[in-house]
Amino acid sequence: EDQVTQSPEALRLQEGESSSLNCSYTVSGLRGLFWYRQDPGKGPEFLFTLYSAGEEKEKERLKATLTKKESFLHITAPKPEDSATYLCAVQPRERDDKIIFGKGTRLHILP
């Protein structure tokens, strides 16, 4: 069964303290892996798409990486405005209409 597991569930960091969020996936062939940011009471905001192992994407203080079994979202020197829930989702190669989401990691950056 296709599955996405994110860890940790929640993470509190001091401003400037770098860390990584993990997304482990089980899928019968990967078409794409997506990262989203979601603020409370709002819809998810698209961040990155990764297609193949070894690929990396960057945006400001965020960098997403991909291996054959997991993806990491690295956050460097975070600021309080980076506080949000970060969602990971996968799209199987055989079912381009199917997107499976993880439960997310709630990130809180303390000033």
Partner 1 sequence: DTGVSQNPRHKITKRGQNVTFRCDPISEHNRLYWYRQTLGQGPEFLTYFQNEAQLEKSRLLSDRFSAERPKGSFSTLEIQRTEQGDSAMYLCASMGTPLREQYFGPGTRLTVT
Interface ranges with partner 1 (CB under 8 A): 4, 9, 32, 34, 36, 41-46, 49, 87, 89, 91, 96-99, 101-104
What region does 103 belong to: left with phi over 0, alpha with psi -120 to 50, or beta?
A: alpha
Nearer to partner 1, 40 or 54 (CB): 40
Cα distance between residue 7 and residue 12, in whole Å: 13
CA dihedral 45, 51, 54, 55 (to 10 degrees): -50
CA 40 to chain centre: 17
Q: How far is the CB of 50 from partner 1 (least distance, A)?
A: 11
Nearer to partner 1, 31 or 61 (CB): 31
Q: How far is the CB of 12 from partner 1 (least distance, A)?
A: 16
Q: Which of 48, 47, 49, 29 is nearest to 38 (CA)?
A: 47
Q: How far is the CB of 75 from partner 1 (least distance, A)?
A: 19
Nearer to partner 1, 15 or 96 (CB): 96
